């Protein structure tokens, strides 16, 4: 079917409009991705420091925190485990991190390697982690986390 110049003009305008909307969406996501990356780093630091106030501020009250062993914790259990020394992280390193933001939800994946001191015994951890962050009241809060074992 042949197109008139008017139809071609409308198609072109629509294409430019869609491109502009996509560019605006990508530009809006970039600051959110940076903010989520900062929140992930703040969580890493708070876990090593066993900082109750920061752990509580960075996590949602509805937190579902899954360990690589399959054990699940809510926000209170997660924070208490870190602060009371049941899970002691001497160091945590994150690698291969990706961040994807859609609206008020962000999905983060990374490899976590850590030196631990659980039950007075030193150990090393290497796990794959999926984090789900949600923007709540203008701040990014950890809503869910699931870890899986990774080969050394």
What CATH code is assigned to 35-149? 3.10.450.50
CA dist., res. 58 & res. 69, Å (int): 23
Instruction: Give domain limits for the chain.
Output: 35-149
How much of the chain is in helix, strand and coil states, percent to nearest 5? Answer: 40, 45, 15
Q: What pLDDT score does 151 carry?
A: 80
pLDDT at 28: 52
What is the per-residue pLDDT for 5?
54
| Whole-number pLDDT of residue 17 | 54
Q: Dihedrals φ, ψ of 129, to 5°?
A: -130, 135
Instruction: Tell me how far apart the alpha carbons of residues 23 and 120 are, in angstroms, rounded to a whole number.
Output: 52
Cβ–Cβ contacts within 10 Å for residue 74, how many? 14
Confidence (pLDDT) at 69: 93
* pLDDT tens for the chain, residues 1 to 152: 455 555 444 444 455 554 454 444 445 558 999 999 999 999 999 999 999 999 999 999 999 999 999 999 999 999 999 999 888 999 999 999 999 999 999 999 999 999 998 878 899 999 999 999 999 999 999 999 999 998 86
The length of the chain is: 152
């Amino acid at each position: 079917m042949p197109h008139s110049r008017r139809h071609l003009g409308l198609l072109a305008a629509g294409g430019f409009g869609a491109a502009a909307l996509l560019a605006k969406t990508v530009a809006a996501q970039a600051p959110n991705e940076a903010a989520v990356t900062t929140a992930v780093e703040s969580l890493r630091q708070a876990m090593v420091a066993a900082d109750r106030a920061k752990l509580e501020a960075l996590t949602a009250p509805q937190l579902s925190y899954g360990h690589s062993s399959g054990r699940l914790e809510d926000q209170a259990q997660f924070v208490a485990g870190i602060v009371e020394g049941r899970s002691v992280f001497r160091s945590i390193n994150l690698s291969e991190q990706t961040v994807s933001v859609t609206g008020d939800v962000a999905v983060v994946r990374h490899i976590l390697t850590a030196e631990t001191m659980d039950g007075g015994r030193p150990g090393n951890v290497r796990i794959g982690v999926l984090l789900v962050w949600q923007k709540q009241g203008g701040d990014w809060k950890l809503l869910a986390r699931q870890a899986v074992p990774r080969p050394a």
